[in-house]
Structures are given as C-alpha cells and as structure tokens.
C-alpha cells in the first residue's frame, strides 16, 4: 500500500505513466482469481486426504509389500525312536523366468540365456520358454522347472555369475555375455528315505505342505512353520537394502516307531501275502491284514503295518502296487457308490456319486487299516468279558461250567467251536480252550449293565485318541442298553459289535499291564528346528480299567492260552521258541454270515509273566479253503514277527529250546534272510510235516459249528436257518452225519468215539486217530468260535 502512495507521487513526476486504475483493478481481480484457484486446490487436497487418505495409505502399503518375496519354511522331520529319519524336507530350487528381464537391453541376453538353460537343464523346453516370453513380455515370474537339487543348478549359477564367452569372439574375458532374467526360487521337497516303510503310518504331503493320512496329517500344524519374507527398502544412504524376516521352520516330531521292528513286520506281512496269494481262489492272500506291535506298559507303538504298501515319495503312482482283489472285477458295480441311508435303502439319486474306481482304490491303499477300519473282534474279546466279570466281582474265577457244545439262549442253540462239548471247564480252561459256552455263562453272570459298563471302560465305542489321522471309533457299531440276551451272549465272545485294531491293542495292554489304560501314541517328543525339545509326551494313563489282582489273574489265564498243553489250548502255535507268551486267538465270522468269511486274529504278548511287547495280528478273510480253520495263520505270523523282534528288543529267552525248535530256528533264520516263502510250507506240505498233519486243510470236515449259529442269533432269523445255512453237517469217518451230543467218549483219553466204527477220534478233526502217529496228532488243536 505504501508503494501505491509512492506511485501517485511518481505519476506526477514522470511523463511516462504505468497502469491506469482500470488496469490495476483488473490485475487485482486476476490476483483474486489466482487466490480463488489456490483455495480450490487446497480444498481438493484436503478432500483427498479426508476421503481417500486411509484407502490410499493402504494402497501404498500394499504396493510396498508386493515388492517383497516369501521365504519358504522347512517342514519338520519325522524321526523314528532311534533318531533315523522317516521323513524330511530337502531344499530344492524352482527355475523362475523373469520375461521382462530377459528382454532387457533390447533382448541381447535372451539368446545366451536360453542356450545356457538348454545346456544345464536338458529337461527344460526352451522353445516353451521363448514362446512364453514372446506372449508375455511383461511377466516377471513364471516357474519352468520345479524341485531341482542344488548340484543341478550349480553350473548354471556359476555361468550366471561369470557370464559366458561370446560366440565367435576370441576368448577374451571382458567379452562375456551376461545371463539375465533367470533366478532360482527356494523350495522344499518332502522325502521319505524308507520309501514304502510305514507308509500308512507316516502319511504323505501333497501340494503346499499339506499332510494327508497318518502323522503327516495329524501333526500337520506342528510340522509346518511360518513363511519368512524378504523386503527391499531404502536405507538412509538411498541404497536398496534387503531386510529378511527369516522363515520359522517347522518342528520335528520323534516317533515311537522303530524302523527295524517296522521293517520286520512289513517283511513278514509281505511274505504272508505272497505265500497265500491265489491259494484257494484267485486273488490276494487276504482282504485286509493289519499288525500292531506295541509296548503294553506305556502305549508306545513300535510298528503298525498293513498291505499293500505304497511309495510315499510317489503316493499317487499305483503302478508297482499289487492291486489284486482291490480293483473290482465288475467295474459297473463299484464305480457308482450308492450312499445308503440308515435303513439300507439307497437315498435320493442326488446322493449317488460317481467315484473313479482308481480313486477309491487309492484311498483304500492310503488308509491305515489298524486305526481306520472296524470289524467284529471274535474271541480276542473273551479276556475282556472275563476281566470285567472278575473285576466286578460277578465271578471269582473258581467257577466251573459244563460245556455240552452249545448253550440254548432265547430259543436258539449257540454253539461252541467244539460241537462235541468240552465237558466241565474252569474259567481258565474256558479261556484257554476258547469255549463260547463258558464265556456266555460268564456274560450272563455279569449281566447286561455291568458288561456294557466294562465295555465302555475298556474304551470300545470311543476313540483311543492315538495321534494319527483317520481313527474311527465305530461307536455306531457297538451295543447299548437296548441289547438283548442273545446280543449279550454273542458279545461275550466278540461277535455282533465292531472294534478297531488299536482299540483292541490298547485295551488288551491294560488287561495285562496291571489294569492301566494308556493312550496309544506314536510320537513321544517334539523338537524345534535346532533340535531342542519343545514338548515331551510322556506315557498318559487314561484310567485304571481293572484292578492289579484282576490283571494278574488275566495274565495267568492268557498264559494258559499259549503255554498249556497244545491239546488244552488254542494259541500254542504262536509261541516263539524259548519264550513264554500269553495271548488270545480269534476267529470271527464276518457279516453276512452266509458267505462263510472269517476274520482271524491273534493278540500275543511276551514274556507271559511280565509283558514287554505286544503283537496283534489281524487277517481279514484269508485266502484259504476253510477260513475258520486258518487261525493258525495269525498265530504263526505272530510267532515269526516275535521271533525276530524279541532279540532286537533285548528280551532274552527264558525257556529251554528243544532240538526240534533249534533246527526250526536255524531254518527260519535262513529263510528270513533269503526272503523265501516260509508260510507256504506249513499249509501246502502237510503230508511231509507230520507235526502239523492233524490241522491242515483236512480240518475242513467241521468242528467249527459256532459260526453258522451266530448268524441265526444276530439276524434274529428263526427255525429253518440251521438247515439252510449249515453247509455240511459233521460226518464221521464212515460218512454218516454226527449228531451232537450222542457221541460216546473214550474213557481213557476222553476223546470222542466214532459212532459208526467205535474208533477213537481226534477231538478237533474228528478223524480216526492213527495209533502210529498218535503222538503227533495230539499237537493238532484248533480253535474258533
């Protein structure tokens, strides 16, 4: 303003004049317009900040993030109890092409780079890469080769570092071409050094570190870590600096599995499957097979095996797997799986699912039979019935029961496996001989409520919570308060309800270890990536299921199943030479009963007095002519496994070994290592093996009547079933049908007499005893329901 005043003075003095008033006003108006524009722009800035500020801040953050790179974590190892690796993750590299970079500097690096790729990675198709670069010149990331080990990428990395000599130019070091636009992304690949070893148990990893089945699935979150990140940022000196937030590697789990025991078990299972393949009918040796070896004193699983095995390193490849009996003969029947509703009728057609038969087979192969499948346990259940009755005080153990070969329950005759009847039996003898009549009587003495209570105490119908993925509890397939008298009768010897192998093994351990029910477990320690222990998983007692004294009594009874005179027991053939063993056999008839299919099993533990190792063998539908007579397959498999496992576990023989046994051991030792078919001998060479002569295929004559009767009971069918179902009535040597309970017994031996000829018969095979080999014939007991 002061200048304006001065201006008026100047105007007077100077002839030349500046702006007149109008111009000055216009100039001020212009200034006000400019001011207005600035105010508008300021308001716009303010509005931008107010309305979009938060949004744009996020955008800016997001943009910064996209400049970062994930660093993969390493999935933890799975170790066996001795520290050898069952599964581990190996660092590998993915070949990544940055198309934009390859085209930098007018694409002069493209040619040498492609050449170097085809030289170092012959399996990578450079034509494909060129094609991709042409089509996506702006692409920054495309993987062209996955899971390359370091030694494969090393030559390329060297070339990348030093450049490659230019073509056609003398070997001048300064004339080197740079390789551009290729880098290697770190990744990990899961490896299973045992290939097929413990495949069902370990499970496998697919895709982005996701475990399927077994330990890999159950411990997925513990095995997995957290991805790290690499950020690029500017430091104060405007230098691009990498900041690395390292990946947190996953924890390592230490399993209770023993690689050696597991391979012993798998070897014998494989041998068994090979030996009995196509034996009676074309097909696999058994529909299913499962073996659990564990420590009964703390629930630790040593081994768990099924069949067939698959390669964990390539789980989807079924080429090398014996699929005999797994792929349905009539695809149409199985390719459509009908989802059936509770009452057994197919539900809405919407629920019909088309399932690729191979997918179904794969799932069947991947699943762990020992925990995922349920079945009727058969006689292995008997010790549980007895233990419950003893513990509840319903019996003292001093009772005796008269077995006439059957017991009438609810109007039906439920038979013993020995239709001829075993006479007066103590509780111990009832267990040793696996007498259904005795067990039914004990169950009746116990009563429905107590029996159910103990059934639940023994954890049937509940999961054992073993730390493996895919355990089933079969709770829908167990009895409840609505069970009837016949239900109680058959359940006493393990028919009519379902269990899993792990339920049986865990419960049986409690029976013999003093009554302590341990949670079966496969992992005992969790370590971090540095090897420090993060978590210990000590043995966990769920409950005391029976008293110490009951358990002691059970050990005594179960000892007699194996250790009694072969004539007086069912499990003698399970005993490895030099050891005392306790256990229980089982021969369960499968539903539908009309098919005469059986599930045979043996649960054994050693030493009988102070159990240290327990082995449970289940063979579902053995491929033999008369499956009900094949229980010995299970006892023998148990014996072979035990024979090898015991020395390994430093459990020493306590009993004298006979010369015969010594010779057999020698023979076995050779066979174990020659991988020859040991099992084939025992069945197919019956005539040569006098020792086993009495119990071979000839046993088919009968002696296994209980099975058919169960059908009657379970399905509640009346009357005519016996005629309709029973395939062949027992016959004597002359071909006349034997009528139950009219048989005369030889006074001296207690053996039955042939009603036709008056000859003394073998109690099991019902064949005339040959005086010459009578001694051997004695060693021919058979067992079953």
Site string for another protein, 206-245 (x = CB under 8 A): ----------------------------x--xxxx-----
Nearest distance from C-beta of residue 16 to another protein, angstroms: 4
When binding is defined by CB under 8 A, the residue of 12, 59, 243, 442 that contacts another protein is: 59
Which residue, 49 or 475, is less far from another protein as judged by CB?
A: 49
Which residue, 43 or 648, is less far from another protein as judged by CB?
A: 43
Closest CA to 480 of 448, 510, 457: 448
Q: Tell me the C-alpha distance between 279 and 622, whole Å.
A: 9
Nearest distance from C-beta of residue 143 to another protein, angstroms: 23
Stretch near another protein under the rule CB under 8 A, chosen from 9-17, 167-175, 297-305, 413-421: 9-17
* 141 sits near another protein (criterion: CB under 8 A): no
* 140 sits near another protein (criterion: CB under 8 A): no
Which residue, 53 or 592, is less far from another protein as judged by CB?
A: 53
* 13 sits near another protein (criterion: CB under 8 A): yes
Cα separations in angstroms, 598 against 375, 468, 477, 587, 614 = 11, 28, 18, 6, 23
* 748 sits near another protein (criterion: CB under 8 A): no
Q: Tell me the C-alpha distance between 210 and 204, whole Å.
A: 8
Which residue, 12 or 354, is less far from another protein as judged by CB?
A: 12
Stretch near another protein under the rule CB under 8 A, chosen from 26-34, 276-284, 287-295, 411-419: 26-34
Nearest distance from C-beta of residue 22 to another protein, angstroms: 6
Nearest distance from C-beta of residue 99 to another protein, angstroms: 16
DSSP for 719-783, please give it.
Answer: TTHHHHH-SS--B-TTSPBPPTT---B-TTT--BB-TTT--BB-TTT-PBPPSTTHHHHTT----
Stretch near another protein under the rule CB under 8 A, chosen from 27-35, 362-370, 450-458, 720-728: 27-35
Which residue, 31 or 652, is less far from another protein as judged by CB?
A: 31
When binding is defined by CB under 8 A, the residue of 12, 35, 179, 457 that contacts another protein is: 35
User: Structure tokens of 115?
Assistant: 């050449």
Give yes or no for a contact between 615 and 293, defined as CB atoms under 8 angstroms apart.
Answer: yes
Give yes or no for a contact between 516 and 298, defined as CB atoms under 8 angstroms apart.
Answer: no
* 24 sits near another protein (criterion: CB under 8 A): yes
**For residue 363, what is the enclosing H or E element?**
helix 357-366
When binding is defined by CB under 8 A, the residue of 12, 63, 723, 748 that contacts another protein is: 63
User: Structure tokens of 448?
Assistant: 């429905």
* 27 sits near another protein (criterion: CB under 8 A): yes
Cα separations in angstroms, 372 against 364, 471, 499, 503, 601 = 10, 5, 10, 11, 17
* 12 sits near another protein (criterion: CB under 8 A): no
Nearest distance from C-beta of residue 54 to another protein, angstroms: 8
Nearest distance from C-beta of residue 63 to another protein, angstroms: 6
Look at residue 594 and give its three-state secondary structure. Answer: helix
Closest CA to 460 of 446, 479, 447, 445: 479
* 7 sits near another protein (criterion: CB under 8 A): yes
Nearest distance from C-beta of residue 237 to another protein, angstroms: 8
* 16 sits near another protein (criterion: CB under 8 A): yes
Give the full edge-to-edge strand order of the sheet including 228-234. Answer: 69-71, 228-234, 240-245
Q: Tell me the C-alpha distance between 300 and 257, whole Å.
A: 8
Closest CA to 573 of 705, 664, 702, 482: 664
Q: Tell me the C-alpha distance between 681 and 53, whole Å.
A: 85
Which residue, 24 or 741, is less far from another protein as judged by CB?
A: 24
Characterize 532-562 residue by residue with b for buried, 16 or more Cβ atoms within 10 angstroms of its Cβ, and e for exposed.
eeeeebeeeebeebbeeebbebbbebbbbbb
**For residue 406, what is the enclosing H or E element?**
strand 406-409
Which residue, 55 or 674, is less far from another protein as judged by CB?
A: 55
Which residue, 38 or 150, is less far from another protein as judged by CB?
A: 38
* 724 sits near another protein (criterion: CB under 8 A): no
Nearest distance from C-beta of residue 181 to another protein, angstroms: 18
Nearest distance from C-beta of residue 40 to another protein, angstroms: 8
Which residue, 36 or 336, is less far from another protein as judged by CB?
A: 36
* 744 sits near another protein (criterion: CB under 8 A): no
* 475 sits near another protein (criterion: CB under 8 A): no
Give yes or no for a contact between 600 and 586, defined as CB atoms under 8 angstroms apart.
Answer: yes
Stretch near another protein under the rule CB under 8 A, chosen from 41-49, 177-185, 325-333, 503-511: 41-49
* 31 sits near another protein (criterion: CB under 8 A): yes
Nearest distance from C-beta of residue 178 to another protein, angstroms: 17
Number of Cβ within 10 Å of residue 412's Cβ equals: 21
Which residue, 63 or 398, is less far from another protein as judged by CB?
A: 63
Q: Strand pairing of 78-79 and 252-255? A: parallel
DSSP for 620-672, please give it.
Answer: EEESSSSGGG-HHHHHHHHHHHHHHHHHHTTPPP-S---HHHHHHHHHHHHHH
* 336 sits near another protein (criterion: CB under 8 A): no
The alpha carbon of 622 is separated from its chain's Cα centroid by a whole number of angstroms, namely 21
When binding is defined by CB under 8 A, the residue of 55, 173, 319, 348 that contacts another protein is: 55
Characterize 728-740 residue by residue with b for buried, 16 or more Cβ atoms within 10 angstroms of its Cβ, and e for exposed.
eebebeeeeebeb
Nearest distance from C-beta of residue 26 to another protein, angstroms: 5
When binding is defined by CB under 8 A, the residue of 12, 23, 427, 447 that contacts another protein is: 23
Characterize 348-371 residue by residue with b for buried, 16 or more Cβ atoms within 10 angstroms of its Cβ, and e for exposed.
eeeeeeeeebeebbbeebbbbbbb
* 18 sits near another protein (criterion: CB under 8 A): yes
The crossing angle, in degrees rounded to 10, of helices 659-674 and 631-648 is 90
Stretch near another protein under the rule CB under 8 A, chosen from 22-30, 275-283, 389-397, 428-436: 22-30
DSSP conformation class of 76: P
* 41 sits near another protein (criterion: CB under 8 A): yes
Look at residue 603 and give its three-state secondary structure. Answer: strand
Which residue, 21 or 748, is less far from another protein as judged by CB?
A: 21
Which residue, 44 or 119, is less far from another protein as judged by CB?
A: 44
* 155 sits near another protein (criterion: CB under 8 A): no
Which residue, 46 or 150, is less far from another protein as judged by CB?
A: 46
Percent of residues in the chain assigned helix, strand, coil, to nearest 5: 40, 20, 40
Closest CA to 781 of 757, 758, 762, 754: 762
Which residue, 24 or 654, is less far from another protein as judged by CB?
A: 24
Residue ranges binding another protein (CB under 8 A)? 3-4, 6-7, 9-10, 13-14, 16-19, 22-24, 26-28, 30-31, 34-35, 37-38, 40-42, 44-46, 48-49, 52-53, 55-57, 59-60, 63-64, 234, 237-240
């Amino acid at each position: 303003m002061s200048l304006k005043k001065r201006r008026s003075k100047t105007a007077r003095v100077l002839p030349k004049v500046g702006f007149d008033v109008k111009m000055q006003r216009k100039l001020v108006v212009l200034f006000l317009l400019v001011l207005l524009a600035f105010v508008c722009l300021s308001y716009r800035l303010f509005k931008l900040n107010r309305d979009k500020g938060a949004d744009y801040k996020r955008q800016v953050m997001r943009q910064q993030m996209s400049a970062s790179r994930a660093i993969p974590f390493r999935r933890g190892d799975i170790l066996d109890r001795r520290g050898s690796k069952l599964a581990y993750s190996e660092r590998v590299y993915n070949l990544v092409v940055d198309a934009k970079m390859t085209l930098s500097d007018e694409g002069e690096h493209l040619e040498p780079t492609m050449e170097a790729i085809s030289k170092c990675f012959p399996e990578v198709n450079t034509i494909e890469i060129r094609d991709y670069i042409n089509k996506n010149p702006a692409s920054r990331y495309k993987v062209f080769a996955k899971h390359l080990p370091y030694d494969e990428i090393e030559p390329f990395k060297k070339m990348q570092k030093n450049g490659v000599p230019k073509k056609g130019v003398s070997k001048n070091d300064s004339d080197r071409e740079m390789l551009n636009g290729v880098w290697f992304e770190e990744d990990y690949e899961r490896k299973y050094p045992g290939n097929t070893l413990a495949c069902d148990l370990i499970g496998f990893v697919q895709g982005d570190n996701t475990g399927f089945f077994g330990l890999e699935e159950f411990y997925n979150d513990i095995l997995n870590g957290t991805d790290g990140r690499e950020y690029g940022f500017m430091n104060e000196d405007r230098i691009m600096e990498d900041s690395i937030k390292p990946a947190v590697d996953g924890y390592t789990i230490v399993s209770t599995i023993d690689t050696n025991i597991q391979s012993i078990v798998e070897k014998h299972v494989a041998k068994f499957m090979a030996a009995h393949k196509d034996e009676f009918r074309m097909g696999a040796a058994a529909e299913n097979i499962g073996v659990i070896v564990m420590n009964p004193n703390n629930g630790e699983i040593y081994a768990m095996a099924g069949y067939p095995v698959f390669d964990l390193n390539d789980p989807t490849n079924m080429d090398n797997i014996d699929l005999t009996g797994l792929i349905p003969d009539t695809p149409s029947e199985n390719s459509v799986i009908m989802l059936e509703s509770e009452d057994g009728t197919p539900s809405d057609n919407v629920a019909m699912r088309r399932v690729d038969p191979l997918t179904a087979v794969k799932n069947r192969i991947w699943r762990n039979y020992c925990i995922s499948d349920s079945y009727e346990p058969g006689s292995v259940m008997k010790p549980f019935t007895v233990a419950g009755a003893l513990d509840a005080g319903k019996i003292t153990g001093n009772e005796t029961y008269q077995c006439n070969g059957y017991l009438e329950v609810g109007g039906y005759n439920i038979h013993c496996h020995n239709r001829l009847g075993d006479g007066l039996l103590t509780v111990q003898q009832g267990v040793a001989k696996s007498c259904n009549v005795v067990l039914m009587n004990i169950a009746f003495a116990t009563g429905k409520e107590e029996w159910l209570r103990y059934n639940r105490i023994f954890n049937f119908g509940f999961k054992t919570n073993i730390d493996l993925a895919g355990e089933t509890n079969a709770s829908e397939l167990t009895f409840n308060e609505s069970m009837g008298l016949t239900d109680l009768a058959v359940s006493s010897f393990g028919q009519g309800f379902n269990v899993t192998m792990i339920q049986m093994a865990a419960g049986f351990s409690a029976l013999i270890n003093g009554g302590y029910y341990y949670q079966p477990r496969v992992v005992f320690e969790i370590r971090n990536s540095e090897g420090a222990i993060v978590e210990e998983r000590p043995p966990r007692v769920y409950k005391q299921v029976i008293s110490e004294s009951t358990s002691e009594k059970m050990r005594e009874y179960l000892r007699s199943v194996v250790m009694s005179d072969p004539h007086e027991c069912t499990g003698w053939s399970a005993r490895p030479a030099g050891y005392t063993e306790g256990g229980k056999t089982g021969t369960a008839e499968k539903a539908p009963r009309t098919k005469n299919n059986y599930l045979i099993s043996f649960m054994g533990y050693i030493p009988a007095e102070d159990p240290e190792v327990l082995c449970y063998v289940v063979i579902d539908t053995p491929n033999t002519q008369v499956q009900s007579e094949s229980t010995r397959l299970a006892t023998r498999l148990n014996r072979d496994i035990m024979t090898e496992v015991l020395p390994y576990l430093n459990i020493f023989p306590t009993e004298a070994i006979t010369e015969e046994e010594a010779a057999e051991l020698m023979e076995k030792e050779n066979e174990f290592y020659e991988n020859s078919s040991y099992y084939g001998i025992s069945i197919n060479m019956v005539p040569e093996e006098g020792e086993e002569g009495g119990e071979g295929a000839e046993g088919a004559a009968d002696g296994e009547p209980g099975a058919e009767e169960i059908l009657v009971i379970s399905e509640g069918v009346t009357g005519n079933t016996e005629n309709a179902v029973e395939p062949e009535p027992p016959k004597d040597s002359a071909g006349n049908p034997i009528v139950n309970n009219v048989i005369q017994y030889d006074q001296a031996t207690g053996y039955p007499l042939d009603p036709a000829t008056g000859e003394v018969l073998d109690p099991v095979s019902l064949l005339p005893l040959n005086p010459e080999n009578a001694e051997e014939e004695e060693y021919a007991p058979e067992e079953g329901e």
